[in-house]
Amino acid sequence: MKVIGILALQGAFAEHRKLLEQMDVQTCEIRQKSDLLRQSLDGLILPGGESTVIGKLLRELDMLELLQRRIKEGLPVLGTCAGLILLAKHIVNDSNSYLRTMDIGVMRNAYGRQLGSFRTIEEFLGVGSVPMTFIRAPYIVEAGDKVQVLAQVDEKIVAARENNMLVTAFHPELTGDPRIHQYFLTMIEE
């Protein structure tokens, strides 16, 4: 039986857990370094929230480097919204960067104030039409050669994959549609 770790320092971690449990997937909350050393972890979710807060806590709890290493070693990871920002190599409108494992450049709070939060339905490659909830979301402005674009909204990249890393600028845990999580579980099987 698979165990998916969910980084539970700040943000929308409980919603991922709820959805995965509805899908009969076992989860565990990752709150400290020792939780990351569990060999039984089959995948990891970096949830939405505030990337600056989550990033600061990862540093304070001395989890950043270990997390980076586990991802580089191949641990499958799903980063949503702030989680996408944490994985990005480069944040174009912020001098901070965190895990830097994924070859993407992102813009934080990219939709500005007026369009802070919105919902839409768009195509997700290999999945079909998917409802997408954006909350003060980033989008991807630069993607390396190895990055596969999975979804775009108004020509902006909002979902992508590079090897063991899957990212969405939207919150797939908030719509009740399990297909993005299912996609991630399929990715783990590969």
Contact footprint for ligand GLN (CB under 6 A)? 48-51, 81-82, 85, 108-109, 135-137
Residue closer to ligand GLN by CB (options 34, 46) is 46
State yes or no: is 65 an active-site residue.
no
The reply to whether 81 belongs to the active site is yes
Which DSSP string do the residues of 30-96 spell out, in sequence order? E-SHHHHT-TT--EEEE-SS-HHHHHHHHHHTT-HHHHHHHHHTT--EEEETHHHHHHEEEETT-S-
Q: Name the residue nearer to ligand GLN (CB basis): 27 or 51.
A: 51
Structure tokens at 6: 């969910």
User: Residues 15, 162, 171, 181: which is the catalytic one?
Assistant: 171
How many CA within 13 A on the CB side of residue 61? Answer: 20
What is the length of the chain? 190
HSE (side-chain half, CA atoms, 13 Å) at 22: 13
Identify which of residues 19 and 135 has a Cβ nearer to ligand GLN in the complex.
135
Shortest distance (Å) from residue 24 CB to ligand GLN? 26
Residue 115: count other Cβ atoms within 10 Å of its Cβ.
11
CB of 23 to ligand GLN, least distance (A): 22
Minimum Å distance from CB 40 to ligand GLN?
Answer: 27
Give the nearer residue to ligand GLN in terms of CB position, either 137 or 159: 137
Active site residue 90: no
Q: What does the block give as tokens for 69?
A: 């290493």
CB of 149 to ligand GLN, least distance (A): 20
Name the residues annotated as catalytic: 81, 171, 173
